[in-house]
């Protein structure tokens, strides 16, 4: 009997419930996935809160690592006992076991353990497309990363540093500043103590940054506009605070002919070829030591509600795991 999280209404962490699930045998194209670690991501809270509307009731969670324990018909390329990971798009990662389409799985290299895979796959692939495909980052460019000590932030800072960029990171505490600096941020801004944009302009000699990576949303939108230099790009990739709404496009002109994009992971990992290439690039960056994965905290799987509270309260750093 599997245990799985579900929610039948949107709201706070208290809407998460746990149920017993009697799984059928895997269907055609499916495998049985036994979970070893689950990665917590802000998108989980967007689903729970209804920011990204879902048909309810729904499972919760996208990212997990585990082992294949049964195989359905028409599955090729996988075998019993294979170590694998997934970042969706199927929800339901908060579970001890489940049936999944084999097409949604990535095989793990021998060098990647279960915890690293669950901590890094979704966040690391997000960092890959943000750094290497959503914008062009050249050696010597100044870039701004909000929430630089978060799960995506720490990986993204390292990735950008490896590309030769000069990273400015925003963080909320001295402890998080130390983490972001250790990851390779050249400059740190404590956003609770100083205004972001004036400091960014001072650091860059008035020019502003070439690229701003904003996973916060409404709370940092104006700072992102004012920090980004002429013809620069703001990549709005998350809503940790709240979605950016009601924006008049003319503001991009008045701020220096800026560009803005709101990308999603699955549009950059849309084909089998993109999925394979992106994941291979992530494993390469980890194996080379250019990207080190920080697991800041672990919770028992059924304490997911508390993990959500801590994540939304900005009480976490690095990646967060839920362990069955």
Establish whether the linkage from the previous residue to 170 is cis, with ω within 30° of 0: no
Give the pLDDT of residue 240. 76
Higher pLDDT, 142 or 238: 142
Average pLDDT over residues 143-152: 94
Contacts of 253 (CB under 8 A, 6+ apart): none
Residues 250 and 283 in one domain: no
**What pLDDT is attached to residue 241?**
78
Strand pairing of 209-214 and 142-145? Answer: parallel
Spatial contact of 146 and 153, defined as CB atoms under 8 Å apart? yes
Q: Are residues 256 and 274 in the same domain?
A: no
Same domain, 314 and 235: no
In tens, the pLDDT along 271-298 reads 999 999 999 999 999 999 999 998 999 9
Q: Are residues 170 and 118 in the same domain?
A: no
Report whether pLDDT(155) > 90: yes
Q: Which of 210, 238, 262 is the last residue of a domain?
A: 262
Say yes or no to pLDDT of 182 above 80. Answer: yes
The one-character DSSP state at 291 is S
Tell me the C-alpha to C-alpha distance, in Å, between residue 111 and each of 67, 83, 115, 240: 16, 11, 12, 32
Q: β-strand 83-86 against 105-107: which pairing, if any?
A: antiparallel
For residue 301, give its domain range: 2-122+270-323
pLDDT of 49 > 80? The answer is yes
Same domain? 72 vs 175: no
pLDDT(299) > 90: yes
Residue 65's domain is classified under what CATH number?
A: 3.90.180.10
Q: Taking the CA atoms of the chain, what radius of gyration do you get in angstroms?
A: 20
pLDDT category of residue 318 using cuts at 50, 70 and 90? confident
pLDDT in tens, 78-87: 999 999 999 9
Average pLDDT score, the chain:
96
**Residue 239 binned pLDDT confidence (cut-offs 50, 70, 90):** confident
Q: What is the pLDDT of residue 314?
A: 85
Pairing of strands 83-86, 187-190: unpaired
């Amino acid at each position: 009997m599997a245990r799985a999280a579900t929610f039948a209404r949107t709201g706070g962490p208290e809407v998460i419930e746990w149920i017993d699930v009697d799984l059928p045998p895997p269907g055609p194209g499916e495998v049985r996935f036994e979970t070893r670690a689950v990665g917590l991501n802000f998108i989980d809270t967007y689903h729970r809160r209804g920011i990204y509307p879902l048909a309810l009731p729904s499972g919760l969670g996208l990212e997990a690592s585990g082992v294949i324990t049964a195989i359905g018909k028409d599955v090729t390329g996988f075998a019993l006992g294979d170590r694998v990971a997934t970042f969706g798009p199927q929800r339901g990662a908060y579970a001890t076991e489940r049936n999944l389409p084999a097409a949604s799985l990535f095989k793990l290299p021998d060098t990647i353990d279960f915890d690293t895979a669950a901590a890094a796959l979704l966040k690391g692939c997000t960092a890959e497309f943000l750094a290497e495909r959503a914008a062009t980052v050249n050696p010597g460019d100044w870039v701004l990363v909000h929430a630089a000590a978060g799960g995506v932030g720490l990986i993204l800072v390292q990735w950008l540093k490896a590309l030769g960029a000069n990273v400015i990171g925003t963080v909320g505490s001295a402890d998080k500043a130390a983490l972001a600096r250790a990851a390779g941020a050249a400059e740190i801004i404590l956003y609770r103590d100083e205004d972001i944009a004036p400091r960014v302009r001072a650091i860059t000699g008035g020019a502003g940054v070439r690229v701003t990576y904003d996973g916060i949303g409404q709370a940092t939108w104006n700072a992102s506009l004012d920090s980004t230099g002429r013809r620069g790009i703001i990549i709005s990739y998350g809503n940790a605070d709240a979605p950016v709404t009601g924006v008049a496009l003319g503001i991009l002109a008045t701020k220096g002919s800026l560009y803005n994009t709101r990308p999603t992971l699955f549009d950059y990992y849309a084909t089998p070829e993109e999925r394979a290439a992106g994941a291979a690039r992530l494993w390469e960056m980890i194996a080379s030591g250019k990207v080190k994965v920080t697991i800041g905290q672990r919770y028992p799987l059924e304490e997911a509600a508390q993990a959500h509270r801590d994540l939304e309260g900005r009480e976490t750093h690095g990646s967060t795991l839920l362990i069955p």
